[in-house]
Amino acid sequence: MTQPRRRLAAASIVSVLVGLSACSTDVVVQTGERPHRPDASVSRAVDPQTGPISLTSLPGYTPPTVAGAVHERPMADGSGTVQWEVVDEAGQPITDYAPTEQVAFGDPANYAGIPGVLTFRGNNWRTGGTYGTASITERRFEKVWEAQIGTIRGEGSYWPGAGWTGQPLLVQWPRETKVAMGLDAKFVDDDSFVEVIYPVFEGKIHRFDLATGEPTKPPIEVGWGFKGTASVDPRGYPLLYAGQGLNDTNGTIGPWRWRVFDLIQNTEVWHLQGLDPVAHRADWGAFDSSVLINAATDTAIEPGENGLIYKIKLNSRYDAAAATVSIDPEVTRLRYAATTNEKFGIENSAVAYRNLMFAADNDGNVFCWDATTLEIVWMIDAQDDTDASLVLDEEVDGGVFVYTGNEVDNRGQTGGERITNVRKIDAFTGEIVWQYDIPAYYEAINGGLMGSPMMGSGPTADLVFFNLARTTAPREGTLVALDKATGDVVWRRHLSDYSWSSPVLVTADDGQQYGVLPDSGGTLHLFDPHTGEDLTTMQVTGGLNIESTPSVFGNTMVFAGYDAKVHAIRIR
């Protein structure tokens, strides 16, 4: 592998950021050139490829070595080796795993079969989070409604409202499904009705009307809290998949579970046990990852914080007329261990390009595997814990890349280099195309990349945006726009309050684009993605943290904060 190109030396960034530490306002501190800015007269639209990729067609591919059920290959960056095996439902390694169905995801624009935001960042490339366009003329925020939710104490912490990643789901159900779920006639008869579905810290799953905040169903009482983002079945089936992030509710300890809910009966119908005896990690069983569903094969892919990746044949059935939905799952596990693994565990949500899937783990390994065969295609060592989900981009010349960044976690605890590394990686080979480094603090809470990157599109198709926490000072942060081709800084702005939220790109009816970002001081920013400058802000939570990532439907966004409230805000 070639060495990554560092576009801005860490030392030079330090001098700039130290000078900013006393800033009292959020300002743009650097503006660069945009040599790759899209020409409005030239179409840069990409028609994403679909169907499975033959692994032997990938550049430089070599098959792994095999000994019984154990497969092994060198890590792509030369940092060691990775071994893996496929394990059946009984916990036994499968010597010759030969699935008959090809699992391949398609165009991310078609991931959701019904309108809405149905999974973390909306699709299998994790590039969304919004549905439709917004009618924006005044460039200001307006409160629509807020709803009180609960708090708990557990795991030695206080958990109010919702946190990382905590993105609500927004679903515009077909009429027959609204009838099957027994929703009130006013919702059934309203073709514009959108439901907010929100699993939160208190161990409840809330359901609201997006327009008014009125509950549509009683909350589903689970008992133990959710941190990550749930998923609604993209086929429009009234099935909700939600991973449990906490197992301590005010001192009451419960089981770790990844849960499936029947939204007709408003109840849990199936679960995976997080403390899986098959897992290398025996002491932790949370599920923060937001599942992807491959509709064509009725298959779910869910990474776990126990270090396993679950492939679940759902065998689902939905009959709207009979008002019934069911699953009868068959579970296969991918278990791996690299030279670099100590902690194990995957907190981010997997990305899928056709049959290739991508994630990163708590040890900092970034890797690709085949959704069909569960072969690990490549793995590299990113040098530290990587919690934020990767995002994927297919370029007009046919290149496919993932964008990622680590945090200061393991290095902060051991006194290592406190630098966050942001990278563009070739999705087919694992080769680092470019790398951007920036110092970050570690003071019990991690600094670095905690929110997923925001991928530019249309007029911002040359840019990728990273929200980096605890950079200029422990309470401050940096939002930066990088040239996708080179990794050069186009603009960088100081945040007086850091953020763990993932920025969201909103496109208006007139084609103008806007960035939305909440921060840890409870301020909601509407910023110009071309310059980084705020167009307006709103203090939402009285100064309390907003970690969750907003979802947007048309003009209306929803998120929850540490004020233990769900907020609906309109962009006017």
Between 16 and 381, residue with greater pLDDT: 381
Could you report the per-residue pLDDT of 445-504, keeping only the tens digit for each? 889 999 999 999 999 999 999 999 999 999 999 999 999 999 999 999 999 999 999 999
Between 276 and 446, residue with greater pLDDT: 276
pLDDT interval class at 48 (50, 70, 90): confident
Could you report the per-residue pLDDT of 411-432, keeping only the tens digit for each? 988 887 899 999 999 999 999 9
Measured between alpha carbons, how far apart are the two ends of the chain, in Å?
Answer: 49
Does residue 371 have a pLDDT over 70? yes
pLDDT reported for residue 43 = 60
Query: What is the 3 state secondary structure string of 226-264?
Result: CCCCCEECCCCCCEEEEECCCCEECCEECCCEEEEEECC
Does residue 5 have a pLDDT over 70? no
pLDDT reported for residue 158 = 96
pLDDT interval class at 6 (50, 70, 90): very low
pLDDT reported for residue 7 = 39
pLDDT interval class at 24 (50, 70, 90): very low
Q: What burial class does residue 544 get, using C-beta atoms within 10 Å of its C-beta: 0-12 exposed, 13-18 middle, 19+ buried?
A: middle
pLDDT reported for residue 44 = 59
Tell me the mean pLDDT in the region 243-247: 97
pLDDT reported for residue 479 = 98
Q: Judging by DSSP bridges, how do beta strands 239-243 and 267-273 pair with one another?
A: unpaired
For residues 343 and 330, give the distance between their C-alpha atoms in angstroms, rounded to a whole number.
27
pLDDT reported for residue 52 = 96
Tell me the mean pLDDT in the region 512-531: 98
Percentage, residues of the chain above pLDDT 70: 94
CB crowding 64-78: b at 16 or more within 10 Å, else e: beeeebebebbbbbe
Does residue 22 have a pLDDT over 80? no
Does residue 544 have a pLDDT over 80? yes
Does residue 2 have a pLDDT over 60? no
Tell me the mean pLDDT in the region 551-562: 98
Does residue 363 have a pLDDT over 60? yes
Tell me the mean pLDDT in the region 98-103: 95
Q: What is the pTM of this model?
A: 0.95
Q: How many CB atoms lie within 10 A of CB 58?
A: 17
Tell me the mean pLDDT in the region 547-559: 98
pLDDT reported for residue 13 = 41
pLDDT reported for residue 30 = 74
Residue 514: closest CA among 92, 68, 135: 135
Percentage, residues of the chain above pLDDT 90: 89
Tell me the mean pLDDT in the region 216-239: 98
pLDDT reported for residue 31 = 78
